[in-house]
């Protein structure tokens, strides 16, 4: 949805709260698609704060399905997003705006705003549990379900040497 903010800029003290349904089915990041498992309406209050600026305040919640970094099992990652942004239409010209800008032609693109808010909160690391054992790199079995019997120690000799160093290090 697009919320036109030019009428907010031209009307002193204008403030209005919008309830915006979010239609996106997936969140895209660097070519990966993460499906939404749940998402709320976006509640967004737009206020004229003077000097051709509007303030955006709002709240949105969702649960994203993100694969575990080790075993690839789906992890439900909740996001509780409090929007708190100023949009300055006096300084920002269209050509200066970055790719992830959610302001287009004096309108707020709410999908782009949500993408922006998820991006700045997206976890660096996602694990199904802290001690996830991951997958066997030989047969692909989920090692949380038990051993597969593969000999994962037969690395090339240089790696084996490094492993020995780690082993000795641990024993100290």
Cα–Cα distance, 170 to 94 (Å, whole number): 56
Helix or strand holding residue 114 (H, E): helix 110-119
Instruction: From 147, 150, 146, select the one nearest 138 (Cα to Cα).
Output: 150
51 DSSP 8-state letter = T
Count the Cβ atoms, other than its own, within 10 Å of residue 98: 6
**What minimum distance in Å lies between the beta carbon of 133 and Zn ion?**
8
Residue with smaller CB distance to Zn ion, 63 or 132:
132
Which residues form the interface with Zn ion (CB under 5 A)? 68, 70-71, 128, 132, 136, 138-139, 141, 148, 150
Tell me the closest approach of the beta carbon of residue 140 to Zn ion, in angstroms: 7
**DSSP category for residue 142:** B
The whole-angstrom separation of Cα 99 and Cα 27 is 16
**Closest approach of Zn ion to the CB of residue 67, in Å:** 8
Q: How far is the CB of 111 from Zn ion (least distance, A)?
A: 30
- CB nearer to Zn ion: pick between 112 and 143: 143
């Amino acid at each position: 949805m697009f919320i036109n903010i030019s009428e907010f800029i031209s009307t002193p003290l204008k403030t209005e709260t919008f309830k915006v349904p979010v239609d996106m089915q997936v969140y895209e990041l660097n070519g990966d698609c993460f499906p939404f498992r749940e998402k709320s309406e976006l509640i967004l209050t737009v206020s004229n704060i003077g000097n051709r600026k509007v303030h955006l305040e709002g709240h949105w919640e969702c649960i994203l399905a993100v694969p575990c970094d080790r075993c690839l099992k789906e992890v439900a990652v909740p996001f509780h997003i409090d929007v708190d942004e100023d949009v300055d239409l006096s300084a920002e010209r269209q050509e200066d705006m970055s790719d992830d800008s959610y302001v287009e032609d004096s309108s707020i693109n709410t999908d782009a705003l949500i993408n922006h808010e998820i991006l700045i909160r997206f976890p660096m690391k996602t694990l199904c549990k802290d001690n996830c054992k991951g997958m066997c790199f030989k047969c692909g079995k989920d090692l949380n379900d038990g051993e597969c019997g593969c000999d994962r120690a037969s690395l090339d000799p240089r790696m084996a040497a490094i492993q020995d160093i780690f082993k000795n290090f641990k024993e100290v």
